[in-house]
Structure 1
Amino acid sequence: MNTVLILLSDSFADWEAAYICPELNKLEDYEIKTVSLTKDPVATMGGLKVIPDYDISNIPNDINIKLLIIPGGLSWHNTDYDKYCDIIKYCLENNILTAAICNGVTFLANHGFLDNRRHTGNTVEYLKQNAPEYKGETEYVDSQSFIFENLITANGSAAVEFSRDILQKLDIYSQKEIDEWFKIFKIGYL
């Protein structure tokens, strides 16, 4: 079973993973699991309550992590989330697809994960202002969503592009299917 882990933060942006989750959840060999600091319910920006599958200290060792998703949100500046750095480092170092969007990217920037990796985000100025430890300005790419090796980064207005890029990297649909999917969610049935 391929496991998709989603790192949750208080007031996370629920829509930023909303396009990709149904596509992966309908596949027989994928499961989606959520991770938080504790097993207490986490409220999204939209007011939904999510009960995490795992707390950060109890992720099972025997799962096959295929994808790590880091959605944006309003509380990534909280230093308690520094506990997520080990799983992020593990995924990046073991060629596990890692996908961050909006302030999820800002969190990566502030913890040095983007210093030597091409990436995008909410703007380079935003990253410099909101991630005081950010040193990756020369690696910044002005793009809605950007793929660099096993890392996908996106700005907060690019949930559909972010999901498209995840589908491309996972190689579970043909390019034609991905293009049709993208057209439906980006343009509609016109």
Structure 2
Amino acid sequence: MKIAEFVLLDQYADWEGAYLSSQLNQKKDWQVRTASIKSSVKSIGGFTTQVDDLISDVPEHIDLLVLIGGNSWSITDEALY
């Protein structure tokens, strides 16, 4: 099984990963997961998302890493280094 990990931070752009995640999620050999620096994040559009993994718990091997844009990429959090 291939793993696609989508990284979401608070104020993430909820529309950016929609098409790619929906296409991958239809494939039997892909698993779509989400990760962040905290267990729950809120999008620009107001959606609250419970993530699958904390950044520190992302599996060692993933096949695709997707960094979703938004208003929070300028934050300095040691979990992102």
How many aligned residue pairs are there? 81
Shift, 1:12, TM fit: 0.2
Partner of 2:16: 16
Partner of 2:38: 38
- SS of the aligned residue for 1:16 comes to coil
Question: Is residue 46 of structure 2 the alignment partner of residue 47 of structure 1?
Answer: yes
Q: What TM-score do the two structures reach when normalised by structure 1? A: 0.41
Q: CA RMSD in A?
A: 1.3
Q: Whose RCO is larger (CA < 8 A, sep 6+)?
A: 2
Partner of 2:57: 58
The amino acid across from 1:53 in the alignment is D
The amino acid across from 1:16 in the alignment is E
Partner of 1:74: 71
Distance between the aligned counterparts of 2:18 and 2:31, measured in 1? 15
Partner of 1:84: 80
Distance between the aligned counterparts of 1:33 and 1:84, measured in 2? 17
**Relative to total residues, which structure has the larger strand share, 1 or 2?**
2
Distance between the aligned counterparts of 2:64 and 2:59, measured in 1? 15
Shift, 1:70, TM fit: 0.6
**Relative to total residues, which structure has the larger helix share, 1 or 2?**
1
- SS of the aligned residue for 2:63 comes to strand
Distance between the aligned counterparts of 1:38 and 1:72, measured in 2? 16
Identity %: 37
For structure 1, which runs of at least 5 residues remain unmatched after alignment?
86-190
- SS of the aligned residue for 1:22 comes to helix
Shift, 1:38, TM fit: 2.0
Moved over 4 A (4+): none
The amino acid across from 1:68 in the alignment is L
Rg larger for: 1
Shift, 1:75, TM fit: 1.1
CA offsets 1:13-42 (integer angstroms, 9 cap, x no match): 010111111100000000111111122x11
Q: What TM-score do the two structures reach when normalised by structure 2? A: 0.91
The amino acid across from 1:83 in the alignment is A
